[in-house]
Structure 1
Amino acid sequence: MKKNNVEYFNLVRYRNWIRQEKLSTLYDELNRVINGNNAKKCGPLISCTHFLRKNGEAIELDFEIMVPIDKDIPLTLEFCMCDKFYIEKVLDIHVVTSKFSFEKEMTEINQYIRENNILPKTATYSFLEKDDNEMIDTHIIFGI
């Protein structure tokens, strides 16, 4: 765990309500938009679930996703450009684990936060460094 500031510039951003089962489609569309405009990612995939609600049987998320890129690109209504993402005095919890253990790791992190009376001042963001078929390498970050 580290305490730093986090700052990224020139991000493609999405924030809206989305059904949980449509998240992979959203990630695919984000990659299509970036690659289709010959832009390059220059930072991690940043995501945050702000709220959850149940709509019948479906779970809907107030979901935000951002990716820093190397240039401005024309975007659809679904995505927008964000000049800057900044969080001051962050608690950065680096998690490297198997996909199967990720939920367990997150439960342990939440327990640690409760037991140590840590009160986040911002939403909790995930900064995804690597996600393959076996391992997840991410940073769980929030302002304190």
Structure 2
Amino acid sequence: MSAEFQEQIYRHTTASATRSWRERRGRYLLEGTRCKDCGAIHYPRRTVCSTCNSRNLEPFKHPTTGTIVMANICWQATGVHFGYGENIPRISTVIRLDDGATILAEVADTDIPKIVEGARVEMVLKKLHRESNSTWMYGYKFVVVD
């Protein structure tokens, strides 16, 4: 609440306990879906197969290892006034998991020269950001394994 608005303002970035509970298996275990009819795998989970339009899907746990297909480094400014603080890299990558599924994820705790196409990566759980209600949102990131 604020002094100007007495009612609580709904924010799209506020953590929802219900939504977090429903998405926990995908966020923490990389669980998607597999079509029982055509065998197509999907991440994140879906209710309809994008290959054959079947609704006959089952939960499927993807492997936590894969290879980097493409990487992009974006330098993010920190500090009170953006541009006057330290610049930190945010490394977004396209990762092909060992079962063939492709996901977009960040690479953390890795030296920048090691992040190249074809490098082997493994999933780890990390803090993603702090919500407006002071709770931490956790999720997956990847690290390069030697």
- Provide the TM-score with structure 2 as the length reference: 0.25
Bigger strand fraction: 1
The higher relative CO (CA closer than 8 Å, separation ≥ 6) is in 1
Larger Rg: 2
